[in-house]
């Protein structure tokens, strides 16, 4: 049977996008293949499509399904009532392995084109995906659409482009001719084939299942590896939609749909632990807690393990020439998705003597009060606040909020916020706690991750002390982001030095529409892979180059 998606059709559709994407990777300027303007997507149709998925089985026609599992409840209060296939790995994994050779033999360009088609089909379902992300993660609709849809698709495309570049870094055939003086030259003709490592396991996370999942998924698939997707048990739907879309496209393109499969897990099954150490599994991508990330790095020795774990993100405030921009920018970063981003700042280090600003000297107390006021101003409009904050994904965040309030003096209390649309939603505003670095227990507080809407305004003796605390935090706990505010070239240089030494990503003096917790595909790296917050960066050369090997065949020419 001729596949309906022929190679030439795919090439016509996607080659220009792939070319633009690989160029963007090399130039690192602005590039996006997918609009992230919510108005470009039909919200009502998306809601209807989402509704149609709920209260039923999500069938993927996978081999070896031995149970139907699922118990997602939207952080906005709605049980989704969807059940997903739970696999018998003894059946599913061999089926996935069997799909590998044809996918490998298709070559890097064909794989990239198929991946691009999967991304395009997912883009067609953006509004539906947005609802799925919203009602599993708790993100507000606009954010769920942007971060869960187009921004995630761009990160996926970035991985596809990087994988294509790595696999076409040199020709697939080459001739080697070595002169030998009066003798005939030696001649060898070689073929070079990128060969995949084996089955890749994607262990999805709760809060950003697509944005954090797509890079690994598409990097593995584009380099020839079948991908088994094990979503977080309370954020299955976005990845189930992804798997369904990928399987359909693969089949239409004439490939075995078993190349991408879903492994939903039962309540308290923790199936990733068993799957990650299976011999078939040769790649693991993981986003989540440091505890399990460390376990994977130590125990899944048969696989390459790519982790994004937890860290402690720091803001160092030394001085600013745009105080009026610093405050709303930071308030936004603390409030967005109620601080449930791995990139949200936690520790705000501020000299106890205050800081110099374009509005004159500001005391420590004043800065804290101004920041609290900026958060309140940002969240003053109820509809906007609801969209910005989203809902709290994990109930554990609520108890963490309560404990955090006891670590110091509350500068801004976390409020329970009545969502205008979903009265059952768990919505909380950010908590800002004042701490003094001299307090005996401050260190223990500041070197822990308080995932959720928790920030500490920390009085430090000096910028030098702040730099030392930053260095220690990065070394011991790692971070996805560091933000510095300073007008001093010396302090800036010292901040850069610390971040290079400890391998952390640094943003400086953000006072406008760019926020420390957001990165752009093709331009910005997410993480470095070089500090304790994770061993992988999205998307650098190491993220793709280690997913395949070169197999060379030499023949006399």
What does the binding site for a copy of itself look like in residue numbers (CB under 8 A)?
A: 25-30, 101, 104-105, 166, 169-171, 174-180, 183, 186, 188, 190, 192-193, 195, 197, 297-298, 301, 496-497, 499-501, 503-514, 520, 523-525, 528-530, 537, 540-542, 545-546, 549-556
Sole residue written with tokens 């070689």: 190
Q: Are strands 173-180 and 84-87 parallel, antiparallel or unpaired?
A: unpaired
Task: Give Cα 106 to chain centroid, integer Å.
Answer: 28
Cβ proximity to a copy of itself: between 110 and 508 the closer is 508
Residue 542 Cβ, how far from a copy of itself at the closest point, in Å? 4
Q: Cα separation of 409 and 201, whole Å?
A: 44
Cβ proximity to a copy of itself: between 45 and 169 the closer is 169
Cβ proximity to a copy of itself: between 47 and 523 the closer is 523
CB atoms within 10 A of CB 10: 23
Q: Residue 512 has what DSSP assignment?
A: S
Q: Residue 392 has what DSSP assignment?
A: -
Residue 288 Cβ, how far from a copy of itself at the closest point, in Å? 19
Residue 197 Cβ, how far from a copy of itself at the closest point, in Å? 7
Cβ proximity to a copy of itself: between 3 and 530 the closer is 530
Residue 552 Cβ, how far from a copy of itself at the closest point, in Å? 5
Helices (H), 223-363: 237-252, 271-275, 290-299, 323-335
Q: Cα separation of 432 and 410, whole Å?
A: 6
Q: Is 525 exposed, middle or buried (0-12, 13-18, 19+ CB in 10 A)?
A: middle
Residue 341 Cβ, how far from a copy of itself at the closest point, in Å? 16
Q: Cα separation of 322 and 416, whole Å?
A: 32
Residue 160 Cβ, how far from a copy of itself at the closest point, in Å? 16
Q: Cα separation of 400 and 390, whole Å?
A: 18
Assign 478 to helix, strand or coil: coil
Residue 298 Cβ, how far from a copy of itself at the closest point, in Å? 6
Q: End-to-end CA distance of the chain: give it in Å, rounded.
A: 37
Residue 242 Cβ, how far from a copy of itself at the closest point, in Å? 26
Residues 6 or more apart in contact with residue 33 via CB below 8 angstroms:
17, 20, 21, 119, 153, 154, 157
Q: Cα separation of 67 and 531, whole Å?
A: 40
Beta carbons of 465 and 473 less than 8 angstroms apart: no
Cβ proximity to a copy of itself: between 136 and 519 the closer is 519
Cβ proximity to a copy of itself: between 7 and 97 the closer is 97
Cβ proximity to a copy of itself: between 32 and 83 the closer is 32
Beta carbons of 532 and 478 less than 8 angstroms apart: yes
Residue 360 Cβ, how far from a copy of itself at the closest point, in Å? 22
Residue 556 Cβ, how far from a copy of itself at the closest point, in Å? 6
Beta carbons of 113 and 14 less than 8 angstroms apart: yes
Q: Cα separation of 66 and 156, whole Å?
A: 31
CB atoms within 10 A of CB 374: 21
Cβ proximity to a copy of itself: between 264 and 544 the closer is 544
């Amino acid at each position: 049977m001729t596949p309906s998606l022929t190679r030439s059709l795919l090439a016509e559709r996607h080659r220009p996008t792939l070319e633009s994407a690989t160029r963007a990777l090399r130039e690192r300027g602005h590039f996006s293949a997918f609009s992230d303007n919510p108005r470009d997507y039909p919200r009502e149709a998306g809601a209807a499509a989402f509704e149609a998925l709920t209260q039923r089985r999500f069938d993927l026609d996978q081999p070896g399904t031995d149970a139907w599992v699922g118990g997602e409840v939207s952080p906005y209060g709605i049980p989704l009532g969807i059940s997903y296939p739970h696999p018998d790995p003894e059946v599913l994994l061999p089926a996935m392995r069997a799909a590998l050779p044809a996918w490998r033999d298709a070559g890097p360009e064909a794989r990239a084109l198929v991946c691009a088609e999967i991304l395009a089909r997912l883009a067609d379902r953006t509004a539906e995906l947005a609802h799925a992300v919203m009602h599993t993660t708790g993100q507000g609709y606009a954010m769920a659409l942007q971060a869960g849809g187009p921004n995630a698709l761009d990160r996926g495309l970035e991985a596809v482009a990087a994988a294509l570049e790595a696999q076409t870094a040199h020709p697939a055939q080459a001739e080697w001719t070595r002169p030998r003086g009066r003798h005939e030259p030696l001649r060898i003709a070689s073929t070079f084939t990128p060969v995949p490592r084996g089955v890749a396991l994607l262990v999805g996370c709760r809060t950003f299942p697509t944005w954090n999942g797509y890079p690994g998924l598409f990097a593995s698939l584009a380099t020839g590896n079948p991908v088994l997707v094990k979503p977080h048990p309370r954020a299955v739907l976005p990845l189930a939609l992804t798997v369904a879309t990928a399987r359909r496209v693969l089949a239409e393109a004439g490939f075995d749909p078993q190349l991408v499969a879903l492994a939903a897990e039962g309540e308290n099954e923790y199936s990733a632990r068993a799957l990650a150490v299976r011999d078939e599994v040769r790649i693991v991508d993981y986003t989540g807690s440091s505890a399990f990330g460390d376990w994977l790095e130590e125990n899944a020795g048969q696989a390459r393990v790519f982790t994004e774990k937890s860290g402690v993100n720091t803001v160092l405030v030394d001085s600013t020439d745009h105080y009026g921009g610093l405050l709303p920018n930071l308030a936004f970063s603390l409030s967005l998705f109620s601080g449930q981003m791995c990139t949200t700042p936690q520790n705000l280090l501020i000299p106890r003597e205050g800081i110099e600003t374009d509005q004159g000297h500001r005391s420590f107390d004043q800065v804290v009060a101004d920041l609290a006021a900026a958060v309140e101003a940002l969240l003053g409009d109820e509809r906007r606040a609801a969209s910005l904050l989203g809902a709290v994904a994990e109930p554990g965040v609520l108890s963490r909020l309560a404990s955090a309030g006891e670590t110091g003096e509350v500068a801004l209390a976390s409020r329970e916020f009545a969502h205008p649309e979903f009265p059952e939603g768990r919505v909380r505003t950010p908590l800002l706690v004042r701490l003094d670095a001299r307090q005996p227990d401050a260190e223990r507080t500041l070197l822990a991750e308080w995932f959720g809407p928790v920030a500490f305004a920390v009085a430090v003796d000096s910028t030098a002390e702040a730099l030392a605390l930053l260095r220690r935090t990065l070394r011991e706990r790692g971070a996805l982001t560091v933000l510095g505010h300073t007008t001093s070239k010396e302090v800036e240089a010292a901040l850069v030095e610390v971040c290079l030494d400890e391998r952390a990503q640094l943003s400086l003096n953000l006072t406008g529409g760019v926020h420390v917790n957001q990165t752009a595909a093709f331009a910005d790296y997410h993480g470095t892979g070089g500090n304790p917050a994770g061993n992988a960066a999205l998307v650098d050369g190491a993220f793709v180059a280690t997913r395949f090997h070169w197999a060379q065949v030499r023949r006399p020419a």
